[in-house]
Amino acid sequence: MEPIAASSAAGPPVAGPPEEDRKTRIARYVFLFLIPFLMVTMMYATYVGTMHAPQPRDMPVAVVGVGAQAEAVVDSLAAVPDDAVDPRLVRSADEAIALLESREVVGALEVPQPGTDAAVLYTASAAGPSQATTVQQLLAPVAVQQGWSIEPRDVAPLNPGDSSGTAVLFAAMGMMLAGYVPLSVVLLGLPHLLAVRRFVPVLLGWAAGTSALIWLILGPIVGAVDGHFLGFFGVGVLAVGAVGAAQLLFTKLMGPLAVLIGMLLYVVLGMPASGLALSVDVMPGFFSFLHGVLPLPAAGEALRSLVYFDGDGLGRHLLTLTGWVVVSLGLSLLKERASGLAVPGAPPVSDPDAPLPALAGGPLRSLRFRYVTAAAFPLSILVMVVGLMSFAMHEPTVRDLPVAVVAPTEEQAEQVADGLQSSLGSMVELQVAGSVDAATDAVVDGEVVAAYVLPAGPGEDATLYTSAGAGVSQQSVVRAVFGQVAAGQQVPLTETDLTPLTDSDTMGSNSMYVGMAWIMAGFLIMAVFRGGAPELTRSRQFLPHLAGWSVGMAVWLWFLFDVIIGAVNGNAWQMIGFGAATIFAMAAVTGVFTRTLGLAAIVPVMVVLMLAGVPASGGGLSLYMVPELFRGLSGVLPLPAAVDAARSLVYFDGAGVGRDLLVIAVWGAAGVLLNLVVDRWLRRREDSPGVPGPENPMPTPGTAGADRDDAEQLQHAGAR
C-alpha cells in the first residue's frame, strides 16, 4: 500500500485501507450473516435433535441371582422393546456394586432371597441422576410384574451440596470455555503468542489459574464440591491444556473460523456425548463413540471419577486428554515448520509492541492493555457461566410450591390444607379451591402447579391433577410429596396429567431450546456486526438488516425444529412471529451495548439475556426450586418470556402469550430508543475534534517523529 502525500508538519502520512469493491463487500456481509447462522444452527439442531425424545439403547444392567428365577428376569429384560436394555447375570450383590462403581453397568436388580418378596434395585446417582431415573423406569416394571416389592439402594449418592448432580457438568464446561475462548482474542490482539514456543508456557499458567478458579467457585464459594482440590486442579490443567492446544492448531489452520470448529467439538457435540446432562446410552449411537474421544466427556468423567468413585477409571480419561495435548502441539509445530508463523486472519505483525486492537473492532491499545483484555474477557465469561449457573442449580430446594386442595366441603378442604401446611412447611403454599373444575383450571392457567382432590366418600381414591407441559421437575416433586400424603391418609391416589408431554418432547425441554435459539440468534448478529461491519454506524443502517435477519432466522428455526427434526409441531405462524419479534428485540438491545462498550459487551449481554434467564425460565428446573432471586426475574427477562411463549403455544393453546409478547416488546422498544440515543451520542463525539467514537475507533496515526514502519503496522491493523 502506497502512502498518500501529506504535509510534513503532520508527520509521515499513512494510507487508509484499500477501497472495497461491491463484490467484496457482498461477500463480507454474507460471511457476517453466515457465522451466527451456523453457530445457532449447529448448537440447537444438535441439542433439540438429540434431547427432544431420548430413547434408551442397550443400557448395560445386571441381574443379581442364581437359578431359573434370575435367568427369567434376564430374558424378560432382553425382551424389552427397541433393545433398550443389555442385561447380564451376576452371582452376588458385591459383584453388581463393583460393576456400578466402575460404570460398567448403570443399574442392577437383585431377585428376592428365598422366603421374601423384596427385590433390591441398585443405582448410582453420582454416575448421572437422569441415568439413575431411567434405570429405575426400566427395571422397576419387571419387579412389579413378578409381584415383588422394590427396595431402592443408591450405591454412589451425590454430595449434599450437589443434589442436582451438575457440579461436574459446570466444572467441565468451564474448562472447555477456558481452553477455547481466549484464542479468538489472542488471534486479533496478541498474534505473537500464536508461536508454539510462546504459547505453551502461557497456556500452562492459564490452565493452572483457571482450574484453581473453577474449584474455588464450585467448592468454597458455592459449596457444590467438597475437597478434591489437587485432583480437580490436575484434571483442569490437563483439560484446559488439551482444548487450548487443539484450538491453537485449529487457529493456525483456519484463523477466525477456528471458533466454529471449537464450538462444534467442545460444546455442540461434546455436551450430548458427555453423559453429564443425559446418559450417553439414550443418545444416538454416534455419541457413544464420541464419548471416548472428545475433551468434554473425558474431563467430565475424570472429575466424576475423582469426586465420587475414588479415581476408578480415571486413567483412561486422562490418557484421552493427554492425546489431545500431544497430537495438537505436534501438528502445530509441523505447521510452523512447513509454513512459518503466518496465521490466517491474524494481523501481519510479529512485534509484540505493535499497536493492535484489544478486541475485534476496538481501538488501538497498548500491549499491556491487550494482555489484560485477553485474560479478563474469557475469565469473566468463565466466572459467569460456572458461578451463576452452579449457584442457581447446584442444590434445588422446593419452596412455596402452589397447590390447590379440593374436598367435598370447603370447611373440610380448609382443615386439610391447614394440617398439610403445618406439616409440609415452606415446601408448599396450599390454597383451597371451591370445585374440581376451578382447581384444574388453575393448574392449566399456571396459577398452581397441581390440585389435590380428597376422596368424595369412603373407599374412593384421592386424585392428583398435574401438568407435565408446565414443567416436568415440579410435576415430579408434587407426585412424590402427595404420594406420601395420600399414603399417610391411607387412601389410594390416582393421577391425571392435564397437559401430558407430546411424543416429540418427552423431556419437556423443547420450549427451553426454542427460546434460547431465538435469544442467541439476536445477540450474536450484533456481536458479529460490531467486529465485521463497523461502517453500519447508524440505526437507520443496521435496523433494516436486523429486521430481515430476524424474520429469516425465525422461519429457519421453525423449519429446523418442526419440519426437519419434528420436535415442535404446529403453530407455525405464531412460532415464526414470536421468534422474529424476539430475535429483533434481542439484537436491538445487544446493539446498544456493543456500540458503546465494544465486543466486551458480550459478557453483560450474555448474563442478562441468556445466563440469568435459564434458571428464571423454569425450562430446566421449576421456578419453585431455584433461588428466589430468579423467580422475581421470571416476569422481566426475555428468555423466560420466550420459553413460556413456546411452551404455551404447544401445550396451552397460546394462553398467556400476550403477556410474554409484551415483555419482548418492551425490551425491543427500549433497544430501538436507546440505539437512537447512541446515534446522537456518537454524532457529538465525532463532531468533537480529536475524539474518536466507539463506532469509528481507528484514529489516523502519524504524529511528529513517528516512523513509516509504525505507521504501516497501524495501517494493517486498521485494515483488519
List pLDDT tens digits, range 567-622: 988 889 999 999 999 999 999 999 999 888 877 788 889 999 999 999 999 988 89
620, part of any domain:
yes
The number of beta carbons lying within 10 Å of the beta carbon of residue 339 is: 10
CATH code, 469: 3.40.50
As a whole number of Å, the end-to-end CA separation of the chain is 14
Q: For residues 622 and 631, what is the distance between their CA atoms, to the nearest angstrom? A: 9
DSSP letter (8 states) at residue 425: G
Asked if the structure places residue 701 within a domain, the reply is no
Phi (first) and psi of residue 117, to 5 degrees:
-125, 25
Mean pLDDT to the nearest integer, 70-87: 88
| Residue 360 domain-assigned (yes or no) | yes
Looking at the fold, whether 252 and 388 belong to one and the same domain comes out as yes
Instruction: Please indicate, yes or no, whether residues 189 and 139 belong to a single structural domain of this protein.
Output: no
Claim to verify: residue 138 and residue 104 sit in the same structural domain: yes
Q: Is residue 711 part of a domain?
A: no
Alpha carbon distance 218, 394 (integer Å): 9
Q: According to the model, what pLDDT value does residue 117 have?
A: 87
Separation in Å, CA 265 to CA 270, 274, 297, 649? 6, 11, 11, 33
Cβ neighbours for 436, distance < 8 A, ≥ 6 positions apart: 406, 451, 453, 465
- Let me know: does 450 contact 443? Beta carbons within 8 Å: yes
Average of per-residue pLDDT across 104-111: 94
User: Who contacts 174 (Cβ-Cβ below 8 Å, separation ≥6)?
Assistant: 210, 214, 217, 382, 385, 386
Do 552 and 413 fall into the same domain? no
The residue written with cell numbers 483484555 in the block is 373
Summary count for the chain: helices (H), strands (E): 26, 12
The helix-helix angle for 314-339 and 196-216 (nearest 10°) equals: 150
pLDDT tier at 39, thresholds 50, 70, 90: very high
Lowest-confidence segment of 362-371, 427-436, 576-585 by average pLDDT:
362-371
Interatomic CA distance for residues 356 and 364, integer angstroms: 5
Q: What is the mean pLDDT of residues 370-391?
A: 91
Provide the residue range defining the domain that includes 175: 166-343+355-394
DSSP code at position 153? E
The answer to whether residues 268 and 223 belong to one domain is yes
- Name the residue with cell 480415571: 314
Q: Are residues 487 and 519 in the same domain?
A: no
Residue 360, pLDDT score: 58
Chain-centroid distance of CA 152 in Å reads 31
Residue 237 has pLDDT above 90, yes or no: yes
For residues 52 and 284, what is the distance between their CA atoms, to the nearest angstrom?
12
In this structure, of 159-163, 267-271, 484-488, 685-689, the range with the lowest mean pLDDT score is 685-689
The answer on 665 and 585 residing in a single domain is yes
Strand ranges of the sheet holding 493-497, from the earlier edge strand across to the other edge: 428-432, 401-406, 450-453, 462-466, 493-497
642: part of which helix (H) or strand (E)? helix 638-651
The helix or strand, by DSSP H or E, that contains position 59, with its residue range, turns out to be strand 59-64
Within 10 angstroms of residue 70's Cβ, the number of other Cβ atoms is 18
Three-state DSSP state, 433? coil
pLDDT average, residue stretch 356-381: 83
Which residues, listed in sequence order, are joined to residue 463 by a DSSP beta bridge?
Answer: 453, 494
Cell of 191: 498474534
Count of C-beta atoms within a 10 Å radius of residue 65: 24
pLDDT of residue 221: 95
The grid coordinates of residue 270 equal 461434546
Angle at 81 between CA 76 and CA 84, to 5 degrees: 85
pLDDT at 662 over 90: yes
**Nearest of 515, 528, 607, 624 to residue 568 by alpha carbon:** 515
Task: Tell whether the model's pLDDT for residue 718 goes beyond 70.
Answer: no
The predicted pLDDT at position 20 comes to: 64
Task: Give me 46's grid cell.
Answer: 444438535
d(CA 543, CA 669): 12
431 and 556 in a common domain: no
Of 117, 133, 154, the position where a domain reaches its end is 154
Phi/psi of residue 403, nearest 5 degrees? -135, 135
Residue 709 domain-assigned (yes or no): no
- The per-residue pLDDT for 601 is 83
> Does residue 241 sit in the same domain as residue 361?
yes
Q: Quote the pLDDT of residue 116.
A: 85
Would you say residue 10 lies in a domain? no
43-57, 442-456, 529-543 — which is least confidently predicted? 529-543
- The arithmetic mean of pLDDT across residues 48-70, rounded, is 91
Q: Please report the pLDDT score of residue 497 as a whole number.
A: 95
What is the per-residue pLDDT for 472? 92
How high is the pLDDT of residue 569?
Answer: 84
Give the separation between CA 23 and CA 33, rounded to whole angstroms.
16
Q: Sheet holding 59-64: strands in order across? A: 85-90, 59-64, 107-110, 118-123, 149-154
Provide the domain count of the chain: 4
CA 618, chain centre distance (Å): 14
Mean pLDDT of 376-402: 92
Report if residue 700 sits inside a domain. Answer: no
| Same domain? 584 vs 672 | yes
Please indicate, yes or no, whether residues 675 and 541 belong to a single structural domain of this protein: yes
pLDDT band at 482; cut points 50, 70, 90:
very high
Q: How many CB atoms lie within 10 A of CB 662?
A: 11
Q: Which of 138-147, 244-253, 303-312, 317-326 has the lowest mean pLDDT?
A: 138-147
CB 421 within 8 A of CB 646: no
Q: Which residue has the cell 426454542?
A: 514
User: Is the dihedral angle over the CA atoms 418, 420, 426, 427 positive or is it negative?
Assistant: negative
Residue 678 in contact with residue 671, Cβ under 8 Å?
no
User: Which carries the bigger pLDDT value, residue 668 or residue 26?
Assistant: 668
Indicate the residue among 497, 517, 541 that finishes a domain.
497
Secondary-structure breakdown of the chain: helix, strand, coil percentages, each rounded to the nearest 5: 65, 10, 30
Question: pLDDT averaged over the chain?
Answer: 88
The pLDDT assigned to 532 comes to 75
Determine whether 347 is exposed, middle or buried from the number of CB atoms within 10 Å of its CB (0-12, 13-18, 19+): buried
Segment 314-333 shows an average pLDDT of 96
Q: Specify if 710 maps to a domain.
A: no
Interatomic CA distance for residues 216 and 235, integer angstroms: 14
**Could you tell me which of 484, 619, 625 has the C-alpha nearest to residue 164?**
625
Shared-domain flag, residues 136 and 182: no
pLDDT of residue 5: 36
Query: Residue 688 pLDDT more than 80?
Result: no
Lowest pLDDT segment from 336-345, 496-505, 548-557, 693-702: 693-702
